[in-house]
Structure 1
Amino acid sequence: MAGRNRWGQHAALLLAILAMLPGCAALLPRQTGIDRRLAALPRDGLALGGPVTIRWNDHLVPWIEAASDADLAFALGLVHGHLRGTQIALLRMVARGRLAEIAGPLATDIDHALRILDFGRAAPAIERGWPAGTRAFVGSFLAGLNHALLRGPRPPESGLLGLRREPLTTADLLAIGRLAGTDINWLAWFSLLAERGTPGFARRWQRTLEAGAGTTMPANGEQAALGALLQGLSRSGSNAVAIAPSRSASGAALLASDPHLGLSLPNLWMLVGMRSPSFHLVGMMVPGLPIVGLGRNPDVAWGGTNLRAASSDLFDVSRLPPEAFSGTEVTIRQRLWFSARRRVRLTPHGPVVTDSPVVPGRPGEAIALRWAGHEPADEVTALLRAARARSGAEFRESFSGFAVSPQNMLYADRHGTIGRVTAAVLPSRAGFPQADPVLDAQDPAATAPWRRLWDARDLPWLENPPEGVLASANEHPALWAEDPPPLGWFFSDGDRVARLRTLALARPKLTPADLATMQRDTVAPKAAALAAGLLRRLEALPGGAPEPGLLAPLRGWDGDYAEASRAALVFELLLARLVPALQPEGGGRGPETGWNFLTTFLLRDLDALPPERREAVLRRAVAEAVPAATQYRDWGEVHRLRAAHWLVNLPVLGRAFVLGTWPVGGSRETPMKSGHGLVTGPHEVTFGSMARQVSDMADPDSNWFVLFGGQDGWLGSAAFADQVPLWREGRSIRMPLHPATVAAEFPRVTVLRP
């Protein structure tokens, strides 16, 4: 028996090695220049009506010119597939709950959760409702995309991951779009479900509501993995600023936008310029989707931030009659192992999420998720209309059918109008439950809001504020809208939007360079206030503050998390010792470590302690911070920016995919967001500002974009990470609209022929 066990272990190891052999090229990818990558673009058997010209700049950014919209869509799909084919295939695997086909049984429970969430559930109804123009554009885009996926060269990592050539379907495309629209509230809810009814839950939930806490990352393995996937791929952050002509040096409106997403490579955006009879614009596209999320045409520039609205509700369906449930068994294929079967149940209030072990609930309780992303709303048509808008009013009206993820869309038009529109489909709630996030499915008052859904026509919007500045950073709607309806539970702390407004109003006239500088700002005003509060309490201790040399940098600190800041380092080292002492049940993890909790409760919790206990906590925090503060010089020495392919997450082999690490400024809620948890020493930023856009409506050529990473997803490509130096140095790539400028700055030419 022992011999057979050893043979089984050896056989498993041999199978694993054999499975990896086709992907060895990914470990030592061949260095590939721009011209070689362009030469590899598929050009035979193209389903085009006429020739299409693609101009490329030195960063492999395409500018596509086509005589018909259908040919433009085909060429866009071809470019997406060529530059980001593997990334698109992986987005499909996540959206469809097929990760176990790559990772084997380790991912089966995550796949089960993804199958329950079913990002493609509404796809058939959405497709049936498409206008003819949308249907034709998407069809041509998919034809071009699949031509590249099925006939183009195989990416180096395909063998490593066991990816097969497989065409993308319309349903896949829509599922990827809905994956990007994930409701960020899920992560907080899923981490709390099992605690409902336990001692301490009521207090924790009330603190969560008071803090208005944002996204929380669960601590346990599979739930954390699911949370990392959803947070990293969904549009959960961002800044945007619109400036009126009265405050612009050029006399025309300005717009700046920088989305916040996961910082792994390749970037979750790609840069594209395009012109056809209906479309003339530059901007950022999500790989695999035929829409421009942030961009500029001759008449309108636009960007946006996640609204962080609650586009979902949880319902307790435990007491519904059996006939209210419908179910099916799904087959989950597992790499190097047998297929698994799992149950998926549906109710009138959505899928039963607690059927997945990744979303644990209380024993005997079934919780369903009702989500606007399961409704047949139409983001594709909305964004195709927005791309063709000729005024701010037309742009705003485009979003009547836009559902997820809920967005604050900011715009600036050629006539000088600046504005913002709430782009979302939400239940018409009168309010939110205060005692429990789970609603009773048998309560008519709880289910009624889903019978009347709001969209952009019903939700707040604003144009041309008197001060000439609009800023958005995932803030509570009450900060800009008068008496807004109940939209959500959790929003950003407000630090970023306050800082952006301060910077925008500090100058009488702003230039595009000023907006680019704002995007790289590393000041958190509430950090300065919190540090000053801590310092006062330390200095009030008997005998004065301990370790005065350590605390000296905090005196007068303005909250700047610059790379060279000593104060930022000391402040964060103190926080990392104080939070676990004040909330020991959290173990230094979970929502209590979030910025909203720190700014709301840290000083209050300290002051609530008996004086002797407070003194002991403060003295111990300072004493425990001394060793790290002695070892490290400044914030940049511990706060590190890592450029790495997402294959870095592979066990054993992952470090081969790290391109470099550098010191970086910023923090959780600085305009240049570089997220992190509690800081005890060196750590790597994995979420934050990962793309930038600035446009000046005075000149169609005045548009600048940059990605953290590069345009090409091909391992070894010269354009894989060539924009990282630009991003780090505050430089960018001009994306013009005038044909003569495009010809001059995009000198490489590819002609696609039918």
Structure 2
Amino acid sequence: MMSSTIKQFGRRTRQAFSLAGLASSVLRRSAVRRFPALSVEERLAMLPATAPVDTSLAIRWNDNHIPFVEAGSDRDAAVGLGIVHGHLRLAQMELMRRIALGRVAEVAGSAAIELDRLVRLIDFPRATEASLALMPAATRAWVDGFADGINAAAEARLPPEFETLSIPYEPWTAEQLFAVSRLCSADYAWKVWRTLNPLREDPEWARMWSELIGIAAVADEDIPIGADNLEDALPNAFDRAGSNALAVAGSRTRSGVPMLACDPHHIITAPNLWLIAGVRTPEIDVWGFMIPALPIFGVGRNQHGAWGGTNLHATSSELVDVSAEPLQDRTIAIKAGKATHELAARESAFGPVVSDAHAFNMTSGTVALHWMGHRPSDEFTPFRNLMRASSWETFADAVDGCALPGLNMIWADPAGHIGKMVAAHIPSRPLATPGDLVVGPAEAHRQWARLLTGRELPMSLDPADGYVVSSNEAPVDPPVTISLFFAADHRFRRIGALLAERDDLTAADLKALQQDVMHAPALAVAEKLKLTASDIGLAGPVMDAIAAWDGRYGVDSAGALAFELVSEPLVETLEERSPQRFVSPYWRPFSRLERLVDAATKADLVDALKAAVESAAAPFETHRTWGGLHKVRLSHPFTKLPWLAARLPTIEFPSGGSNDTVMKSMHPFTQKVHHTNFGANARFVADLADEDGTWAVLLGGQDGWPGSRTMFDMLGAWRRGEQIRLPFSEAGLAEDFRHPTPIAPPAPAGPDA
């Protein structure tokens, strides 16, 4: 099955699908059947001819399998978008649905029981019924139409994964779409808690906790590379953990009209966690990025403006000590193959007792998860309103209604306005640093008694600098504590510096900016190493490369390679000699290096550098450049199955970028060849001076169908820094979108029906 989750989760997932009781008949079918190569035309022939629409609609496709839906009403347009999602990503969506509902073990068997137990404990669908009841009739019609479209695509043709794993198809409903939405709203703080909770028993915890809250130790959006357990990584599998977004005013563009750019950061996988789509009705015209199974445009442009966003890293959850609170027992029934397993769970007035679950790494106590996602809220309507936003005010009205997942939202419009505001509902937490990760019941009641919305939180409209930027940085002067764990400001400062240099920016400049791999703080550390080496006469190819390095993590950079090869043994040696313990081997690797180098005595730094350079010599001679060590691998998740690996394409290539560069490409400190599992995975640019001036590209391609030509076909454009035009004009659509597929209403029932 089919999504980023499997690629990220490693060993446990391989066990689940290879050892957990898949029938031998399924394995035999998998072993002998190949997935044939399919052209765009062959794939489009799999679309349904009819769907539950009131009038015929048309879907135009370009050569990259990007769709533009044209319909006579909004509801019919939603059906068309549902058909698009079902056609391109139905298998990926099935995994997302099963994860959201805690039903993976039904297919994967007993190895996925703990995963399902965790998901059932968190209970993503908990607020579904109440939230759907909040939706206006027009939004509910949109959501129901989207589900109808998915089911129409499924009736026409199921992806091969369903047969290979003997997955029965179940029609999608609005309730299930909402559950997936809540899965995608998982709180960023959960991954931080997973790292920190075991340390709360450490004698040095008070000191480490106080340091973490300081500017030097805020959290970055790293996912532990090499995480072994499916349930460990699950809570944040689909949330938008990173991203860059920016808007520039007309005072900084060659055309005199604003532009917007966004490059989301996510798990690296095939198929991508985004798909590109467009839609037109008498009321809306939109191009943008959608998450499979969600009927919203997270990044987009209409005829009146453009929007994008980044993860706010908002703490929309609280860990609450419920050891003295009344608890209720409940039973979770999980099907694994033909067997049903009944597992115990506990509930409090604040939420589920997650100290019983492995994923949160609670080592003691009775602790409940108090999460915004367990409260009723309607995020579909605000994002539906974004498709109609025509000004900063209508944009702000839409954003103000968003409670989850916690985003920084950027806006630009042809009238000349640019701005940034928070899309989240935030508990009224004091600005003082809390004493611990876990709060008491009285404190939780007090903080959650009032929620602040976007208009009460930091925002910026038409700043004098002529640009707004978001890169998961801490908001300026918030009235309450939004989070304790924001990203380092390296990307934020780099983007701002590049924009501030120019008053003649073009769309080509913004596309180039999205590929920037400069890391000035790393260059500063390299300069310290260079001076230390010079003082003691330490020379050779590794130090020569570091001395000549310009700070850029280019794919062909020898300096970036040398710096990274030296960093791993340098950190290890300096940590052994450090009088203080640092938080985690996965906690902001560059920050760890920077702090260790700054804090080291000269004697310790000299000894550590000598050993590090010696250790780096052989791998430096072998790999030569940063791209020789640092790579991207795109493959269908079925390649985890040994009997299918040879029958599915895998694409691997050298990559530039690093943890803290604008073109984000996550990696650990290592001297071994490695594959980034998190980073930039999509790019979007909108020039509001030109109705056809919208472009986008995915790392990989649109289609999730094994063997499809468009599963990886955007890779060349991605590596060259090119993007695909998304026009609004009829002339542009006629030129680029030459594959029309009509969808008709169902045939009238005959007299004998």
Task: Encode CA deviations 1:313-364: one digit per residue, 9 max, x unaligned.
Answer: 11111121xxx323321111123x632222232212221111123333234x
**Deviation, structure 1 residue 586:** 8.7
Contact persistence 2:117–2:343 (CA under 8 A): yes
Contact persistence 1:188–1:217 (CA under 8 A): no
Contact persistence 2:232–2:359 (CA under 8 A): no
The equivalent residue for 2:492 is: 497
1:426 correspondence with 2:421? no
Give the 3-state SS of the residue equivalent to 1:351 in structure 2.
coil
For residue 571 of structure 1, what is the amino acid of its counterpart?
Answer: F
Mapping of residues 667-706 of structure 1, within 5 Å: 667-706=658-697
Mapping of residues 532-543 of structure 1, within 5 Å: 532-540=527-535
Contact persistence 1:97–1:110 (CA under 8 A): yes
Residues of 2 paired with 1:533 and 1:332: CA distance?
56
Give the 3-state SS of the residue equivalent to 1:678 in structure 2.
coil
Contact persistence 2:69–2:279 (CA under 8 A): yes
2:310 to 305, 312, 316: 305
The equivalent residue for 1:30 is: 36
Give the 3-state SS of the residue equivalent to 1:737 in structure 2.
coil
1:661 to 652, 668, 679: 652
For residue 212 of structure 2, what is the amino acid of its counterpart?
Answer: T
For residue 327 of structure 1, what is the amino acid of its counterpart?
Answer: D
Residues of 1 paired with 2:378 and 2:171: CA distance?
23
The equivalent residue for 2:53 is: 48
Residues of 2 paired with 1:569 and 1:218: CA distance?
21
1:146 to 151, 175, 192: 151
The equivalent residue for 1:632 is: 623
Residues of 1 paired with 2:219 and 2:511: CA distance?
29
The equivalent residue for 1:205 is: 209
**Deviation, structure 1 residue 738:** 1.6
Give the 3-state SS of the residue equivalent to 1:694 in structure 2.
strand
Residues of 1 paired with 2:680 and 2:370: CA distance?
30
For residue 565 of structure 2, what is the amino acid of its counterpart?
Answer: L
1:19 to 26, 29, 39: 26
Question: Kindly tell me: are residues 714 and 652 of structure 1, through their superposed partners in 2, closer, same or farther at Cα, counting changes over 3 Å?
Answer: closer
Question: Kindly tell me: are residues 169 and 311 of structure 1, through their superposed partners in 2, closer, same or farther at Cα, counting changes over 3 Å?
Answer: same
Residues of 1 paired with 2:226 and 2:716: CA distance?
36
The equivalent residue for 2:409 is: 409
For residue 470 of structure 2, what is the amino acid of its counterpart?
Answer: S
Give the 3-state SS of the residue equivalent to 2:454 in structure 1.
coil
Residues of 2 paired with 1:382 and 1:724: CA distance?
33
For residue 220 of structure 2, what is the amino acid of its counterpart?
Answer: G
1:400 correspondence with 2:383? no
Contact persistence 2:686–2:694 (CA under 8 A): yes
For residue 499 of structure 1, what is the amino acid of its counterpart?
Answer: R
Residues of 2 paired with 1:483 and 1:120: CA distance?
31
**Deviation, structure 1 residue 128:** 0.7
The equivalent residue for 1:9 is: none
Question: Kindly tell me: are residues 72 and 724 of structure 1, through their superposed partners in 2, closer, same or farther at Cα, counting changes over 3 Å?
Answer: same
The equivalent residue for 2:13 is: none
The equivalent residue for 2:451 is: 453
1:332 correspondence with 2:324? no
The equivalent residue for 2:128 is: 123
**Deviation, structure 1 residue 619:** 2.1
2:590 to 582, 588, 595: 595
Give the 3-state SS of the residue equivalent to 1:490 in structure 2.
coil
Tell which deviates more after alignment, 97-106 or 699-708. 97-106
The equivalent residue for 2:115 is: 110
Mapping of residues 60-139 of structure 1, within 5 Å: 60-139=65-144
Question: Kindly tell me: are residues 13 and 214 of structure 1, through their superposed partners in 2, closer, same or farther at Cα, counting changes over 3 Å?
Answer: closer
Give the 3-state SS of the residue equivalent to 2:468 in structure 1.
strand
With the length of structure 1 as denominator, give the TM-score of the two structures. Answer: 0.92
Question: Kindly tell me: are residues 60 and 598 of structure 1, through their superposed partners in 2, closer, same or farther at Cα, counting changes over 3 Å?
Answer: same
**Deviation, structure 1 residue 525:** 1.3
**Deviation, structure 1 residue 72:** 0.7
**Deviation, structure 1 residue 48:** 1.2
Residues of 1 paired with 2:432 and 2:241: CA distance?
21
- What is the CA RMSD across the aligned residues, in angstroms? 2.3
For residue 94 of structure 2, what is the amino acid of its counterpart?
Answer: A
Tell which deviates more after alignment, 200-209 or 522-531. 200-209
The equivalent residue for 1:476 is: 474
Contact persistence 1:352–1:367 (CA under 8 A): yes
The equivalent residue for 1:357 is: 358
Contact persistence 1:191–1:218 (CA under 8 A): no
Question: Kindly tell me: are residues 272 and 13 of structure 1, through their superposed partners in 2, closer, same or farther at Cα, counting changes over 3 Å?
Answer: closer
Contact persistence 1:521–1:671 (CA under 8 A): yes
Task: Encode CA deviations 1:20-61: one digit per residue, 9 max, x unaligned.
Answer: 234447x731111111111110123x2111110111111111
**Deviation, structure 1 residue 265:** 0.7
For residue 459 of structure 1, what is the amino acid of its counterpart?
Answer: L
Identical amino acids, percent of aligned pairs: 37
For residue 294 of structure 1, what is the amino acid of its counterpart?
Answer: V
For residue 718 of structure 2, what is the amino acid of its counterpart?
Answer: W
Contact persistence 1:694–1:705 (CA under 8 A): yes
Task: Encode CA deviations 1:670-691: one digit per residue, 9 max, x unaligned.
Answer: 1111111112121111111111
Question: Kindly tell me: are residues 259 and 221 of structure 1, through their superposed partners in 2, closer, same or farther at Cα, counting changes over 3 Å?
Answer: closer
**Deviation, structure 1 residue 534:** 2.7
Task: Encode CA deviations 1:383-432: one digit per residue, 9 max, x unaligned.
Answer: 00011011122111101221222111111012010001100111111135
For residue 604 of structure 1, what is the amino acid of its counterpart?
Answer: D
**Deviation, structure 1 residue 658:** 4.7
Which structure 2 residue ranges, 5 or more long, are not aligned? 1-18, 746-753
For residue 438 of structure 1, what is the amino acid of its counterpart?
Answer: V
Task: Encode CA deviations 1:522-552: one digit per residue, 9 max, x unaligned.
Answer: 1111111121123333444xxx143343212
Give the 3-state SS of the residue equivalent to 1:523 in structure 2.
coil
Residues of 2 paired with 1:201 and 1:534: CA distance?
31
Contact persistence 2:382–2:401 (CA under 8 A): yes
Contact persistence 1:512–1:695 (CA under 8 A): yes
**Deviation, structure 1 residue 554:** 2.0
**Deviation, structure 1 residue 143:** 1.1
The equivalent residue for 1:348 is: 349
Question: Kindly tell me: are residues 433 and 533 of structure 1, through their superposed partners in 2, closer, same or farther at Cα, counting changes over 3 Å?
Answer: same
With the length of structure 2 as denominator, give the TM-score of the two structures. Answer: 0.92
Question: Kindly tell me: are residues 167 and 268 of structure 1, through their superposed partners in 2, closer, same or farther at Cα, counting changes over 3 Å?
Answer: same
The equivalent residue for 1:192 is: 196
Task: Encode CA deviations 1:495-523: one digit per residue, 9 max, x unaligned.
Answer: 11111111112222100000000001111
Contact persistence 2:37–2:708 (CA under 8 A): yes
The equivalent residue for 1:173 is: 177
Contact persistence 1:20–1:159 (CA under 8 A): no
Contact persistence 2:555–2:654 (CA under 8 A): yes
Tell which deviates more after alignment, 556-565 or 579-588. 579-588
Contact persistence 1:532–1:555 (CA under 8 A): yes
For residue 531 of structure 1, what is the amino acid of its counterpart?
Answer: A
Residues of 1 paired with 2:410 and 2:226: CA distance?
37
Residues of 1 paired with 2:678 and 2:649: CA distance?
16
Number of equivalenced pairs: 723
